[in-house]
Structure formats: structure tokens, C-alpha cells
Structure 1
Amino acid sequence: MSLRYPSLLAALAAPALVSAAPVGDLSSVQKHLQSVESMTASFTQTDRAGKVLTGVLTLKKPGKIRFQYEKGVPILIVGDGKSLWFLDYSVGQKQRWPIGGSPLGILLDPSRDMRGIASVVPTGNPETVAVDAADPKHPEYGRISLVFVRNATAPGGLMLQGWVALDSQNNRTTIRLSNQRFNAPVSNSAFQWRDPTPASGRK
């Protein structure tokens, strides 16, 4: 099945940036990710053709994430703790990926050591931190670049602003976040979903 919309389960391509990266920023990013137990945010998704979709992101560690798209968009992406699911209700189909095989695993696994897969990308702005990550043993997973701004009130002193993803088919997707809220209670029921395939029950 080919995805009707570019996959969010791809990794990020960092923009071309200049200047030297401050030493220790990778540790700061690791600290931020370990400090975030849950997050909710509004998101704007832009694909390589310029198509824009909006929605609400809900995250809970370990392994749970939900991209709830705007009304009228018949797709849903959910991580249920073990797998990431792409659900297309318009055609009654679904796809599954193991969370460990997705670049989004960086956001979902608090124990993940970034040192072997990630590097800081110079941004030219001391208030912005960008990290590019890819598994050298699995280039088919693509790349993910996370962008943060320094914010003393956010976990670990960083606020996740979004990411850009590039999958193995060179499909590029940009996610921008707003209205971020960290570490508020999130029910596990937020990561349940209705199976779109015929004669299936509720997950």
C-alpha cells in the first residue's frame, strides 16, 4: 500500500546551517528527552509538495504517540507502546512498524542513548539547537532532525519546536509544533484506535 500522505514515520533531513555547535548540546537534548514523560501540542505538517495538514499530537512514554489530524482527514497515526500504526479509514487499510525501527523512537524511548546515532547541527543561532539522527546500521529507517529552542521553563531547558523527516524514498515531511504542554497526565485510552479494516473490532 502506498501512503496517501507522506509518512511521519520517517527520519529528518536537517537544513544547511552554519556556525559552530556549542559543546554539550547533545547532552542537553538527551536530558530534555529523558525529562519529558508526556507532551501535547498542536502540529502543522507540510509535505514535499507543499500540502499542509494540522492536528493535535499526544505523546506518553514509553512508546505511545498519537497524531490526530484535523476534521475531514481520514488518517490516523498511533503508537500503542509496541508498534506504530498508520490507519487509513478512507480505503480501510492499515500499516504497522515496530517502534524500535522508527526514527520517532528517539522521542518515545526515554532510555535511548543518542550518542551513537545523533549529532548536533550548527544553527548559527545560540538560542536554537538542532540534532540530526539516523541509525548507521539501518539507513532504510531514514533520518530525523529535531529542532529545539532554549527555554528555562521547559524540561531540561529546551522546548521542542518540531522536526523534518526524510524517508528512504526521499519523502520529506516537516512538523512544526505550538502550544506545547509537558508532563500533564495523559490517559492510556488516548492511544486506542478503531481498526479500519473490514469486519474488525476496536483496538
Structure 2
Amino acid sequence: MHALKTLFLALGVTMAALPAAAEKLSLGQISAYLNELQQAKGDFTQINDDGSISTGTISLRRPGMARFDYNPPAKALVLASGGEVAIFDKKVGSAPERYPLGDTPLSIILAKSVDLSRSGMVTSHTYDGTSTVVRARDPKRPEIGTIDLVFTGNPVELRQWVIRDDSGGETTVILGELDKNARLPHTDFSIIRAIESLN
């Protein structure tokens, strides 16, 4: 199951076509974008720490919910809801591994209210002429790792993220175009429902 835990650490191969260069996005603009991002669904490509590549579909329902459906051969499902994360190995069909959502940097973008200007949260805020990159962490729990969020402007869009864990592992998730009008019922994110479906 270690490989599946690595899969989850991506919770952001080539980036989607980027818009024309824009100015560096402020932390306020990025926070507002994330707070306004209520529901979204789209494809993703994941580069794992060992260099392998996985693909699948991501669904987000903020606050607090995410779903990663991995394509074969991975056949994994990762759910975040109710303050925890569950990692299912569909090949085995056994009970999932479960972790507190707060133990992962992904909790930063799934929070009910995102405020990247909070003291100690952002450790780096850069612009390369095309993308704005923000490195964030939970200032109360820096040991859980960091997340690099990559945004483009005009309009503001989250393009990818890179999660680094406390052991130095690095996993990247690259997002395709997100459908922000997707209908995503709460049941799609239910860990209990997914466990019951194993029986």
C-alpha cells in the first residue's frame, strides 16, 4: 500500500496550454480564487516520486472534499471528506488506509476559508513570466510538508501542484481543464459508501 500512499501525496506529461503571460498574482487574488472554487472536475496527470506516471479524474467540492479516480493499471481511489483521507486499492479490494486530512498539505486548499496571507503560511511567492508559484505550509504543523501551487492569470487558474512530504518525497499533479459547472453530489465523496461498496 506504500505505493498508494505515494499516489495520494499528489493530491499536482505536460501542462495544459497556458494563456498569454500576465503579471504576478497576489496572495489575495489566489486566496479569492480558491475560496470561490466550490466544485470542479477534470483530468489529471500525476508524476510520482519514483518517476512513474499515473492519470485519472479529479473531483473537488470545497470545503473539505476531493476524489481521485486513478486509471488502470493503478486502479486506485482516493477520497477526502469528513476531515479524513481514505486510500482504496481496487486491485485488492481490502479496507482502505485512512489518515487525518490535516496531516496532508492538501488540507490547505480544501480549507473552508483560504487565507494565504496568514503569518507563516507562505514560504515562497515567485513569478517566472508565465506562472505564479506559491509554496505554502500549515504554520502550526510544518512537519507535514509543503505544497507548491502553480497558477496562471487572465483568468486565474490552478494548473498544478507539487507536494513534498517530511521525508523529501515529491509528487506532482498536473491539471487539465476543470469543469466548474460539474454536478458533484456529496455521495461521490463518501468514504463510508465506498467502503460498503467493497462488500
TM normalised by structure 2 equals 0.81
Amino acid at match of 1:145: D
Select which of 135, 139, 151 maps to 2:142. 139
Deviation readout 1:125-180 (Å, 9 max, x if unpaired): 1x41111001233222111000011033xxxxx11101011111211101100121
State how 1:99-178 maps to structure 2 within 5 Å.
99-115=101-117, 116=119, 117-125=121-129, 127-152=130-155, 158-178=156-176
Q: Which amino acid aligns with 1:190?
A: D
CA drift at 1:50: 1.4
Paired letter, 2:8: L
Q: Per the alignment, in what secondary structure is the counterpart of residue 179 of structure 1?
A: coil
What are the superposed Cα offsets for residues 75-109 of structure 1, whole Å, 9 maximum, x if unpaired?
21101232111122334242222223321112212
Unaligned regions of 5+ residues in structure 1, if any?
13-20, 153-157, 196-200
What is the correspondence of 1:1-203 to structure 2 with a 5 Å cutoff? 2-4=2-4, 6-9=6-9, 22=24, 25-91=26-92, 92-115=94-117, 116=119, 117-125=121-129, 127-152=130-155, 158-192=156-190, 193-195=193-195, 201-202=196-197
Alpha-carbon spacing, 1:137–1:145, altered in 2? closer, same or farther (3 Å): same
Tell me the residue number matched to 1:18.
none
RMSD: 2.4
Deviations 1:26-65 (A, max 9, x none): 1110010011101111000011221001000000011110
User: How far, CA to CA, are the matches of 1:58 and 1:10 in structure 2?
Assistant: 14
Contact 2:5 2:87 in 1 (8 A): no
Q: 1:36 to 1:183 in 2, by over 3 A?
A: farther
CA contact (8 A) 2:151 2:158 kept: yes
Which stretch of the first structure deviates more once superposed, 78-87 or 138-147?
Answer: 78-87
**Aligned residues: percent identity?**
29
Secondary structure of 1:34's counterpart equals helix
Cα contact 1:148–1:160 (8 A) shared by 2: yes
2: CA distance between counterparts of 1:87 and 1:2? 12
CA distance in structure 2 between the aligned counterparts of 1:10 and 1:180, rounded to whole angstroms: 17
Deviations for 1:110-134, whole angstroms, at most 9, x for unmatched residues?
Answer: 3132223124522321x41111001
Gaps of 5+ in 2: 13-22
Q: Distance in 2 between matches of 1:142 and 1:120?
A: 14
* Distance in structure 2 (CA, Å) of the matches to 1:129 and 1:120: 10
